[in-house]
Amino acid sequence: MAEKILIIDDDVDTLRLVGLMLQRQGYEISAAPNGSQGLAKALEERPDLILLDVMMPDMDGYEVARRLRKNPSTVAIPILMFTAKTQLDDKVTGFEVGADDYLTKPTHPTELQAHVKALLARAPQRDKEPASAATVSHEQHGYMVGVISARGGLGVSSLAANLAAGIYSRTQADVILAELTPGQGTIGMDLGFQNPKGLTELLQGTVAEVTREKVEASLSPHNSGVRLLLASAKPHEMTLTSQVQNYEALVTRLAVLARFVVLDLGSGLPAFVQKVLPMCNECIVVVEGAANTIQHTKLLIEDIVALKVGVRKINVVLNNRVRSESQMQMSQVQEKLGHSIAATLTPASEAFLQAARLQTPAVICQPTNMTSQQFLKIADTVIEREKPK
């Protein structure tokens, strides 16, 4: 396999010319036009060598090098500083922040190739695959379920929490429940966590800072057996939903940290949900048997399909939260929705009150309750779909 070189430079001509030059030598080339994107690519791709410009507007090469050397995933990647700066002090600074070699612009192609070959030859061989050959595919790419509704208050968080706990109780596998709705968090309060900050801290930093290690450190264990990434309930933090690149990096990291990942995506289709949903193995849409909600949900499903999410990956759960004559039957909902109903949940206010008092999902505190059994049935179908065909 060809060795990969990541070029980080805001000069388009440099990216094109140097990239073409090295490509002709048989290297695989990846490029980033600024420091932030370069850090993100370095963490994601783990190249064999990084060719790094110093003078960049958003984050200079020195700062990029410092961050690369602080991260365990990139600490050993050779860095070749490539810049127009010629002063001795500039070169010294480059070496102090972690550069392995230094070239000044312009440089002759032969000189560049010699430095690249020398650095790659000196670099230790890095195993980019998981340490154990016995690592199963589930651990490499977890089965991801996104739970969503057309409007708020339909029970998305309750379903997500009980689904995650149900999957764990059935499999004893590693399960993560991630609440991705900053400013609207409820799961933390329901399960006894005060002022959760995990999601907030991951969204407030740069994309490059959303590392596997940081994501894993943000997970909170719970007595249900599920690990939790919790959203804050502080309304002003809803502005963090604009951090689409952070969300994409976060979900990518979550996918390799557990066999099952359940995402509470809240309601509607904000930009981050549009990015995350196609990354899911399946999407569970929660609906209730009310005419307006059904029409709204029909439009939501159409928009989800437009995101290139296969219609077979969309499973609808009818959540009859209250006993009411106005609630439609499952067959009526299916007809008006134009989509099959995968499962139905019956009202169980007492069970949820008891669960809230015990700060645990209903499937844990009252597993024989009818609604808990319905949650467990949904969990069983997810487990069955996760199995390799």
**pLDDT tens readout for residues 295-319:** 999 999 999 999 989 999 999 999 9
Give the C-alpha separation, 199 to 375, whole Å. Answer: 26
Whether residue 260 is predicted with pLDDT greater than 80 in this model: the reply is yes
Q: With pLDDT > 70 as the criterion, what percentage of the chain qualifies? A: 92
Asked if residue 200 has pLDDT above 90, the reply is yes
The most confident of 106-120, 129-143, 256-270, 327-341, by mean pLDDT: 256-270
Query: Are 273 and 229 within 8 A, CB to CB?
Result: no
| Pick from 278, 276, 280, 201: nearest CA to 244 | 276
- Distances 342 to 14, 54, 291 between C-alpha atoms, Å: 54, 55, 19
The average pLDDT across 252-273 equals: 95
> What pLDDT shows up at residue 191?
92
Which DSSP state fits 328? P
Contact 80, 100 (CB under 8 A): yes
Mean pLDDT of the 129-135 span: 34
Q: What value does the mean pLDDT take over residues 338-353? A: 87
Q: Tell me what the mean pLDDT of segment 23-50 comes to.
A: 91
Structure confidence at residue 102 (pLDDT): 87
Rounded to the nearest 5°, which phi and psi values hold at 345? -110, 130
pTM: 0.66
User: What sections of 206-243 are H helices per DSSP?
Assistant: 212-217
Average pLDDT estimate for 356-381: 91
pLDDT at 68 exceeding the cut of 60? yes
C-beta neighbour count of 194 within 10 angstroms: 6
Domains of the chain: 4-122 (3.40.50.2300), 140-386 (3.40.50.300)
Contact 74, 46 (CB under 8 A): yes
CA distances, 384 to each of 45, 289, 317, 388 (Å): 32, 27, 17, 9
